[in-house]
Structure 1
């Protein structure tokens, strides 16, 4: 795949999808597909699909037999919890037609679209196995629900990325307005063998990730 798509997507979506984010997603998804990790691809919180089309293009490039599953309320953010201090219910709302227009713009077929709140769709509408998941729910409850349902289906060797995981100690530049995702991740993985690692870039990237079944050695 030509890197030109990364530059074009970053230019079209400056606020939410810069080069750092796309390059890290490229590494994570392409590596699981090339290595033959079992399962389909999941994005929880797809908004207007500017990251979704990139996921679809990578699938077509490396493993066209895999399917992409997108989840979004198309009602904006839910009610914030006590752990969420940025934005309010209904913010970031897009319409399903916006998502479809993005795929049409890039000449890509529509993936599997699951409209509704995560606690309504994820329990019953996830693929049986997941090789890669990108969780971009912004709020504590959204990320916690996503982890509870996606992690058990993530195959060994599969990668899960959580957007807005801000660990300012390990990455001082990370965007720090969404406080809920890191708390949800740290609580969820407290009793799991994997612990969340931090990805960094040249800007304000706030990405946490785990690779299922891989545990860092002491001091790593």
Structure 2
């Protein structure tokens, strides 16, 4: 899996900082990140962020796949997934991204996984996470679909790509597209 290798690289190359997942939901991806930290015996913490109230309101750029309140879950389900795999629970930041990211992010970040589904969620995530990324850090974005590359691919959350493209338009890093079947990701490495 691409995420496994990207997380492993940041740990193996000693990129300074902790790891974050913005939009952790029930923690399936968080568990994978925590397994890498444990397997590589890294002295790093995993911070996860979620409202646990489901998605916020969508904008017109976000398509019609989800509506406010979809994907609601609980901290207990997230923690249950960690306990089931024998992993140390992450640092949980409960609340909306615009409320939790400003003062709740680690000082330095070596790996960030952004899974906000909507334009505003990804834009807010990038605004707060980007300045804290260490040189060499990786920022992986879920649901980034480039229909020019992946014609006919899953593109039900077009706000994600638009937010990334808008935010990164005047930055030196290049967004790299990862084709992984029906669902897609993109990432950039902080210069």
TM-score when normalising by structure 1: 0.84
Q: Who is 1:30 aligned against?
A: 8
Q: Which of 35, 42, 65 pairs up with 1:57?
A: 35
How large is the RMSD of aligned CA atoms in angstroms? 1.0
- After superposition, residues 121-136 of structure 1 pair within 5 angstroms as 121-136=100-115
Conservation of the 8 A alpha-carbon contact between 2:145 and 2:158? yes
Q: Who is 2:142 aligned against?
A: 163
Greater strand content = 2
Q: Is there any run of 5+ residues in structure 1 with no aligned partner, and where?
A: 1-22, 214-220
- Counterparts of 1:175 and 1:146, CA distance in 2: 22
Q: Which of 55, 70, 84 pairs up with 1:91?
A: 70
- Counterparts of 1:166 and 1:211, CA distance in 2: 18
- Work out the number of aligned pairs and report it: 190
Shift of 1:64: 2.6
Shift of 1:174: 3.5
Question: Where do 4+ consecutive residues of structure 1 move more than 4 Å?
Answer: none
Structure with the larger RCO, 1 or 2 (CA within 8 Å, 6+ apart): 2
- After superposition, residues 1-220 of structure 1 pair within 5 angstroms as 23-85=1-63, 86-172=65-151, 174-201=153-180, 203-213=181-191
Shift of 1:168: 1.3
Conservation of the 8 A alpha-carbon contact between 1:199 and 1:205? no
Conservation of the 8 A alpha-carbon contact between 1:33 and 1:63? no
- Counterparts of 2:43 and 2:152, CA distance in 1: 38
CA 178–39 in structure 1, closer or farther in 2 if over 3 Å, else same: same
Conservation of the 8 A alpha-carbon contact between 1:133 and 1:160? yes
